[in-house]
Structure 1
Amino acid sequence: MIALLRTAVPLFLAMIAGMVGSLVVTSVLGKHDTVTLAAFAVVTAVLNPATAAVQGALRGLGPFIAPYREDPAAAVPIVRDARWLSLATGLLGALAVICVPLLARSTGVPGEVVAEMGLLPYFLAVYLLVFASTGGASTILVALGRSRSVLWPTLVYGGVLSVLTAALVPSLGLTGVGLAWVISGAAAAATATYNVRRALGRPVGQARPRVGEIVRLAKVSIPLAGTVLTKFGVLGVVTFAASTTSTRDTAAHAVLTTLTGFIMLASLSIAQAAVPDMARASDTAQVRRVGRTAALLAVTGTLVGAGLLLGFGDRLLVLFSDDAAVRERVLSLLPLMLLSSMLDGAQAVQGFGLTALKQSSSSLGYFAVGYGLLVVAAVPVARTWGITGLWAAMAVANGLLVVLQGTGFHRHSAKVGRVLVG
């Protein structure tokens, strides 16, 4: 358990550092101009899931690298294969970001907001390609037992992004944000590449793509990216459903969603940290033991976050809303949100466990069932029971995923040590 925590804490801190940088950008833009902030929100509505999908695809690299912890240099060919795969997924994401103005016009976004975007989509597309060029550096470092090295690229990214945004936005607007994002992304990528080279003990170099090996990586990575996109898409539908209720409840839902993001950081960092240990497990008992420990830590992390939220209550919520009625609504729904988050954290551990066993396609199937039911129910539930019903529905969907992911993990982990899972 202690070893798992030592791996998870740097990941947790790295996630916080990344979120701080994004919060600074939003704050600076909000004070700069309302139309500018609206344009930024529209572009990042596509950038965020595109980035998450690339991250998801790169996380599938973990079980392929973990067996080489004692001989890192032998993993170099796999790292090269991962770079080709990440560049391909990054290119698709970059194309989606470039198309944001066209999509915005077709969906009725006001013309002044579309015009305000300017060159930002192109800058952010470049950033996404720079991010993809690292070939999953964070996943590689965690798999090789170098999780502390993951923190430095994120600190560089968050620090440079914050400083440059504050310096450039007053005179350049969204162009300044774009420049800040590209420069900070390049600085973080350079730091990550340096750390990977040190961890491997030799340069990665270049080589022709090994199509067969890239396909093997893709069979694990692409379903993982699909799972991320499914979750983003369905939660977007849930947010739309919440917007059909009252203004107060829509605002409360937005605050609850933000709080959920912070609560989930501990669970996600622990789930990622557990992947190498599961991938290196020699028998069923060992991989299940790691899974149980990770699930226990994930739930504990959620409970600690819940205690802080419930303890500080209204004093903390003042940071998110000046409306007392909104804060009161959030407080009344906190227990339901925390239940949903606890179940979500537990299912995330099981899902990452399936990735460690190279069975991420099973996890995608379970998400299609659990979140498929949620997307069908979201609007009718919101109309009948409001956001209380929506958060209850999310808790039920996450509870169903705990059962499905847990059953799948139990079934596939039974094969460890007896057959080659691949």
Structure 2
Amino acid sequence: MIALLRSAVPLFLAMATGTIGSLVVTSVLGRHDTVTLAAFAVMTAVLNPASAAVQAALRGLGPFVAPYRDDPAGAVPIIRDARWLSLVTGLLGALAVLAVPLFAGAAGVPGEVVRELGALPYFLAAYLLVFASTGGTSTILVALGRSRKVLWPSLASALLLSVLTAVLVPPLGLTGVGVAWLVAGATAAAVASLSLRRGLGRPIGQGRPRIGEMVNLAKVSIPLAGTVLIKFGVLGVVTFAASTTGARDTAAHALLTTLAGIIMLASMSVAQAALPEVARAPDAAGARRANRTAAVLAVLGTLAGAGLLAGFGEWALRLFSDDAGVRERVLMVLPLMLVSSVADAVQAVQGFGLTALKRSGASLLYFAVGYGLLVVAAVPVARTWGITGLWAAMAVANVLLVVLQGTGFHRHSARVGAPVRVSTGTATGGA
């Protein structure tokens, strides 16, 4: 447990610094101009799921790299394959970002908001390509047991993003944000690549694409990206459903979603740290032990965040809203949000465990079931029971995912270390 915690803490700090950088951008834009902030919100509606999908696809490299912890240089061919695959996913994300003005206009977004986007889509598309070009460096470092090195790229990015945004937005508006985001991303990529080279003890170099190996990587990475897209898409529908309940309820839902995201940082860092431990497990008992330890730590981290939130209560909520009515609604729904977050923490660990077993396709299926039911129920529930009903439905969906993902992990982990049957009828050892 201590070893897992040591790996998770740097990941948690890296995620926290990234969140702080994003909050600084939102704060600066909010003070600059309302239309500018609205345009940025439109952009992030596509940028967030696109970047999350690219990042999720890169996390699928973990189980392929983890076995080389004691021989990092041996992972170089896999890392080369990963870079080709990540460039493909990054290109798809970049195209989605470039299409934002077109989609926004077709969706009825006011013309002044669309025009305010300016050159921002081009800068952010370039940022996604830069991010993808690293080939999942952070995931590789974690898989090789070098999670402490993940913190430095995030710190460099958050610091540059915050400073450059504050300096460039007043004269340049959203173009300043684009420049800041691209420079911060390029700096983080450079720092991460240097850390990876030191971790490997040799340069990565170039290599021709190995199509068969890339397909094997894609079988794990692409379903993981699909899982993220399902979650973002359904949560977007839930937000739309919340918007039909009234302005204060919509604001309260947005605040609850922000708080839930902050609370989830601990469980996500633990889940990522546990992935290589599960992938390296020699048998089913070892894989389940690592997964169980991660689940306990994820729940404890979530409860710790919930305890801090409950302890500060009304005072903490004043940092986010001056409206007493909004704060009252948040406090009323807060217990349901915490139940949903705890269940989400556990299912995330199980999902990463399935990825470690190279069974992310199963996780994608479970998400399609659990969140599919949620997307069908969202609007009717919101109309009948408001955001209280919505958060209850989200809690139920996450509990269902705990059952589905947990059962799936238990079933698939039984094969770890088991003999593999071959056509001759003999058996050879394998995972």
> What is the TM-score of this pair, normalised by structure 2?
0.97
Residue in 1 that maps onto 2:332: 332
Aligned letter for 1:55? Q
Residue in 2 that maps onto 1:233: 233
Per-residue deviation, residues 105-161 of structure 1 (Å, max 9, x unmatched)? 000000000111000000000000000011000100000000000000000000001
Residue in 2 that maps onto 1:250: 250
Please state if 1:291 is matched with 2:272: no
CA distance in 2, matches of 1:404, 1:12: 26
Residue in 2 that maps onto 1:12: 12
CA distance in 2, matches of 1:248, 1:175: 32
Q: Which runs of 4+ in 1 moved over 6 A?
A: none
Of residues 412-421 and 18-27 in structure 1, the stretch that sits farther from structure 2 once superposed is 412-421
Per-residue deviation, residues 164-186 of structure 1 (Å, max 9, x unmatched)? 11111111111111111111110
Residue in 2 that maps onto 1:151: 151
Residue in 1 that maps onto 2:396: 396
Per-residue deviation, residues 338-371 of structure 1 (Å, max 9, x unmatched)? 0000000000000000000000000000000000
Shift in Å at residue 399 of structure 1?
A: 0.3
DSSP 3-state at the match of 1:418: coil
Shift in Å at residue 332 of structure 1?
A: 1.1
DSSP 3-state at the match of 1:109: coil
Shift in Å at residue 247 of structure 1?
A: 1.1
Residue in 1 that maps onto 2:378: 378
Shift in Å at residue 246 of structure 1?
A: 1.5
Residue in 2 that maps onto 1:121: 121
Q: Runs of 5+ in structure 2 lacking a partner?
A: 421-429
CA distance in 2, matches of 1:143, 1:406: 22
Residue in 2 that maps onto 1:200: 200
Q: 1:419 to 1:398 in 2, by over 3 A?
A: farther
Residue in 1 that maps onto 2:269: 269
CA distance in 2, matches of 1:110, 1:219: 40
Q: Runs of 5+ in structure 1 lacking a partner?
A: none
Shift in Å at residue 44 of structure 1?
A: 1.2
CA distance in 2, matches of 1:104, 1:318: 33
Shift in Å at residue 306 of structure 1?
A: 1.1
Q: 1:96 to 1:353 in 2, by over 3 A?
A: same
CA distance in 1, matches of 2:184, 2:111: 30
CA distance in 1, matches of 2:4, 2:409: 19
Residue in 1 that maps onto 2:425: none
Residue in 2 that maps onto 1:281: 281
Residue in 2 that maps onto 1:223: 223
Residue in 2 that maps onto 1:161: 161
CA distance in 1, matches of 2:332, 2:36: 34
CA distance in 2, matches of 1:413, 1:270: 19
> What is the TM-score of this pair, normalised by structure 1?
0.99
CA distance in 1, matches of 2:310, 2:174: 38
CA distance in 2, matches of 1:302, 1:175: 37
Shift in Å at residue 419 of structure 1?
A: 4.2
Question: What does 1:64-103 correspond to in 2, within 5 Å?
Answer: 64-103=64-103
DSSP 3-state at the match of 2:191: helix
Residue in 1 that maps onto 2:172: 172
DSSP 3-state at the match of 1:321: coil
Residue in 2 that maps onto 1:311: 311
Residue in 1 that maps onto 2:140: 140
CA distance in 2, matches of 1:298, 1:314: 26
Identity %: 78
Aligned letter for 1:14? A
CA distance in 2, matches of 1:333, 1:107: 31
